[in-house]
Amino acid sequence: MTSLIGGIIVVLPVAILAAVFGWVFSFVTNLIQPFTDLLVAKSDLREVIADLLVLAIILATCFIIGVVIRTKFGKFIYSKIEAHSLKVAPGYNLIKETVLQILGNNKTPFSSVALVQIFGNDTLVTGFVTDEHSDGGFSVFVPTGPNPTSGNIYHLEGKYVHPVNVPVEDAMRSIISCGAGSSQLIEKV
């Protein structure tokens, strides 16, 4: 039984990762299908080769746009387009921030980990400082375990927020595991 569970622990994450990659590939190829069909109709390419060629064209276009936007003129044009057209589109800012987070933008919404007293008593909860205020107070996101994407936002006086020198990733790991590994948080207070 132990060997079976050990095998499942090894095989299941690999199978899930393969399924996710398959889903992403299928999703992307469905999005570019009209371009692929056009390329297949105009040439003798196989569909897989046409998919790869269309993806290469899209990536090359993104690269060229990225190069242009790095210039002063490109930044000016992009800022005008974004200010007058894109930012008024519902959900644009949310999508842009999500893409920036996925692509590894260093600007994280969580500046540090803290233990916070949301009830004003000795009860401490794990939270992430999202903003510091001029009056010494903090805005803190307190996630729910084991799903750290939901939680509550609290605006607290500085005396109720106790920063801890723990990486955000370690605190997230503790939240996902329903508090397992929290001892390092408590020790750092």
Q: Residue 54: which residues within 8 A CB-CB, separation 6 or more?
A: 32, 35, 36, 39
Q: Token pair of 64, please? A: 């060229």
108 or 75: which leads in pLDDT: 75
What is the model's pLDDT at position 76? 93
The pTM (predicted TM-score) of the whole model is: 0.50
DSSP 94-158: HHHHHHHHHTT-S--S--EEEEE-TTSSS--EEEEEEEE-TTS-EEEEEEPSS-TTSEEEEEE-G
Structural domains of the chain ordered from first start: 2-102 (no CATH), 112-187 (2.30.30)
Q: Are 55 and 33 in contact (CB under 8 A)?
A: no
What is the model's pLDDT at position 184? 76
Q: Residue 98: which residues within 8 A CB-CB, separation 6 or more?
A: none
d(CA 189, CA 186): 6
What is the model's pLDDT at position 108? 59
